[in-house]
Structure 1
Amino acid sequence: MARVAFAFRYGQVIMKFSEALAVLRLLGTRHEDAMTVQDIVAKWNNLYAEKLHKRTAQRYLSELSTDGIDGRAVIEVDASSKERRYHLRVSEMANWLMTDEAALYQVLSLQVLQSTFGDAVAAGVERQMDMAEHLTQEQRRTKRLRDRVRIVPDGVGRLRAKISSEILACVMDALASNQLLRVEYRSAAGNHSNRELNPLGLVAKDGTLYLLAVKGLGDSPIAYPLQRMKSALVVPRPAHDRLDFDLDRYIEASHQLSHGIDATLEPKVIKFKVAPEWIYHFKERPLSHLQEIHESKNSGDWAVVTVPLPVTILLKVFLASFGPGVEVIEPQSLRREMGQWLAQAAARYSENLTP
């Protein structure tokens, strides 16, 4: 790699550092992706305005595939066929371009992203991932951490929603190119429709992906789950910029894309009692930084939790998941709904059901 860093040899320019990096960017890390000189020239000339001649490419590749006094060359040559083929030597590239700590973070980050985006997230990053995998295997400390650290989502372990990789790629393309998107969509009730959407953002939540989009400039954003899209097509027309829309602010204002029980997501003071054996859930992971817990001096008494939150469907489900261990006190409307809901559930379990 030292041969790449030096720009001069015996007083004559061998190769500019920028040119060396440009050549390295063209190559893959895997043997099956090895390229001939002609392939490299064609790819270069397709990407860069300044043309690359075959003889110049041969000289560059000769320099980059020759071992130096301080280490092996960064390009490996496959001379088994009639034409020589070239690919990056993973071990050398990894040692020069990535620390073992960065490699570990990249491998763990990919685990998180793949749990939501699937294999689509790895498209185009094979080279970086090959280097990261190599380094985490080479270094004993990072290998241990790589093998002993896992990141799993919340919940009961439901499978990810099945999202077509073609539809996901189309949605990403529309967002990246700032163009309209036409989709065939099936609602939760099973109704089919064709919609031309102005995409605003993509959000991963609860094992699926939501496209935030509007149909008209004055419309409020709607979250479209990608698994309900039967087809998608990028429309070759520019999307309309919504200068009043900020994705992060929208997520915060909608409380992580929550659906309100009433017409508004304005916070209300929620007060509920929690059994002693369940209070640790609210101590260890508060519902909000404004949450307050009032406990009695008697260890067997129930604690009272107060927190300002919008009344959403997910909040109702969350509180109900504690069964008899949580009792809503306020607001009265939520207490009444929870009581009716749980009474209906209890009535079903009290029936003498026959198979």
Structure 2
Amino acid sequence: MIDKVIRIFNITNAIQANPGISAADLALKCDVNIRTIYRDLDILSLIAPVTNEGRGTGYRFMGKFFLYPLNFSEQEALVFSLLPSVVDKDKLPPGFDTAYDKVMATHFKEKSKQNSLIENITDIIQMGTPAYRQESPNYLQPIIQAILEQKTIDTVYHTQYRNETTNRKINPYYLVPRDQRFYLIGYCHLKQAIRTFRISRFQNVDITGHSYDKGDFNIKQYLKNTWSIDRGDKNTTFKVRFSSEVARYIKEEELFVHPRMKDQKDGSLIFEVTVNNEKEFINWILHYGPNAEILEPQSVRESLKQQLSQWVEMYR
């Protein structure tokens, strides 16, 4: 059985290296008769798009199929690495050791390339440092790696509003950039619920060997009606008029919510949206100053009037 697996690997490599190779040449390369090659090709066709378009055309793979990289999961790599210890070496063909080494070398090379790519990506992504820290370690690399490999992370996290530091195990699901910061959304084992974590508040991040499954978690459903990143528990519908000076910029805002926008004859824009965190939305509106007028709800409009009056008094 092992020699057949090795032969199919060799056939795959030969077809990739020589598209259009004949069955006779494959038999010569594998040192078997042509009937064996035909049987192996039948097996290969069950797992790969191998084709022979007619006499004299030979074998090739359709589309962009390519064996390399192997893309082993950690569990698959572990199982394959244990193979030599669970088979009778006396019954193995001479080429087993070299074929095994090539497969494992390919896996480790790809893993190294993936880690190197993650390092390069995280070097490119530059984040600010909180004012209270002299320097802030970049934990994006282990977090991205853990997300890709679906591994739980062991962390030390500081919760700012409680001024509390805790050890937490987190299943990292998604990274979300918001307001010049990165946030991690994942399952917190401590709270036994989905939580949002600000990356700059991690004080340590280690990848564990424990794998996780996101199940039916849906990021779009989770962030439904969330204006920025903090989910609230009460939906509020806003109606805002933006002046013609900023209307075109409002249209290109990248949002999780789906606002209703209507152009006005004077170039202004009526913007309606339902959000679950009133405070986040108002803070965003204030960025536009007099170019944004809250029309509804009336209660928020009145509250903002009072706040603006206090500001005027402050600067008198």
Identify the TM-score tier after normalising by the shorter chain: 0.5 to 0.7
SS in 1 for 2:223: helix
Alignment of 1:179-328 (within 5 A): 179-189=151-161, 191-206=163-178, 207-216=180-189, 219-237=192-210, 239=212, 241=213, 243-252=215-224, 254-255=226-227, 257-260=229-232, 263-264=233-234, 266=235, 268-282=236-250, 290-293=259-262, 295=264, 299=266, 303=268, 305-310=270-275, 311-328=277-294
SS in 2 for 1:13: helix
Deviations 1:271-321 (A, max 9, x none): 23333433333456597655243635xx4xx84624132144342122111
8 Å CA contact retained: 2:157, 2:166 = yes
Separation in structure 2 between the aligned mates of residue 282 and residue 169 of structure 1, nearest angstrom: 33
Pick closer, same or farther for the CA change 1:164–1:48 going to 2, 3 Å.
farther
Are 1:160 and 2:206 an aligned pair? Answer: no
- The partner residue of 1:339 within 298, 305, 310 is 305
Pick closer, same or farther for the CA change 1:204–1:4 going to 2, 3 Å.
same
Pick closer, same or farther for the CA change 1:279–1:259 going to 2, 3 Å.
same
Q: 1:13 aligns to what?
A: 28
- Structure 1: give runs of 5+ residues left out of the alignment: 27-44, 58-113, 124-152, 154-158
8 Å CA contact retained: 1:217, 1:242 = no
Please report how far the alpha carbon of residue 193 of structure 1 lies from its aligned counterpart in structure 2 after TM superposition: 1.7
Task: State the TM-score, normalizing by the size of structure 2.
Answer: 0.53
- Structure 2: give runs of 5+ residues left out of the alignment: 1-13, 31-58, 71-79, 85-95, 103-116, 130-135
8 Å CA contact retained: 2:239, 2:271 = yes
Deviations 1:132-167 (A, max 9, x none): xxxxxxxxxxxxxxxxxxxxx9xxxxx6245745x3
Separation in structure 2 between the aligned mates of residue 345 and residue 234 of structure 1, nearest angstrom: 48
Pick closer, same or farther for the CA change 1:244–1:346 going to 2, 3 Å.
farther
8 Å CA contact retained: 1:271, 1:304 = no
Deviations 1:64-107 (A, max 9, x none): xxxxxxxxxxxxxxxxxxxxxxxxxxxxxxxxxxxxxxxxxxxx
Pick closer, same or farther for the CA change 1:119–1:279 going to 2, 3 Å.
same
Separation in structure 1 between the aligned mates of residue 144 and residue 254 of structure 2, nearest angstrom: 34
8 Å CA contact retained: 2:260, 2:272 = yes
8 Å CA contact retained: 2:169, 2:190 = no
Separation in structure 1 between the aligned mates of residue 166 and residue 177 of structure 2, nearest angstrom: 24
Q: 1:67 aligns to what?
A: none
Alignment of 1:89-128 (within 5 A): 119-120=120-121
Separation in structure 1 between the aligned mates of residue 123 and residue 302 of structure 2, nearest angstrom: 48
- The partner residue of 1:51 within 97, 115, 139 is 97
Aligned residues: 226
| Corresponding letter in the other structure for 2:98 | L
Pick closer, same or farther for the CA change 1:9–1:182 going to 2, 3 Å.
closer
Separation in structure 1 between the aligned mates of residue 23 and residue 123 of structure 2, nearest angstrom: 39
Please report how far the alpha carbon of residue 183 of structure 1 lies from its aligned counterpart in structure 2 after TM superposition: 1.2
| Corresponding letter in the other structure for 2:203 | K
Separation in structure 2 between the aligned mates of residue 225 and residue 192 of structure 1, nearest angstrom: 14
Pick closer, same or farther for the CA change 1:220–1:305 going to 2, 3 Å.
farther
Please report how far the alpha carbon of residue 199 of structure 1 lies from its aligned counterpart in structure 2 after TM superposition: 1.3
Please report how far the alpha carbon of residue 229 of structure 1 lies from its aligned counterpart in structure 2 after TM superposition: 0.8
SS in 1 for 2:97: coil
Task: State the TM-score, normalizing by the size of structure 1.
Answer: 0.48
Tell me how large the CA RMSD over aligned residues is. Answer: 4.7
SS in 1 for 2:222: helix
Please report how far the alpha carbon of residue 331 of structure 1 lies from its aligned counterpart in structure 2 after TM superposition: 0.8
Identical residues among aligned pairs (%): 14
Separation in structure 1 between the aligned mates of residue 290 and residue 298 of structure 2, nearest angstrom: 18
8 Å CA contact retained: 1:199, 1:211 = no
Separation in structure 2 between the aligned mates of residue 295 and residue 281 of structure 1, nearest angstrom: 15
8 Å CA contact retained: 2:242, 2:271 = no
Q: 1:170 aligns to what?
A: 142
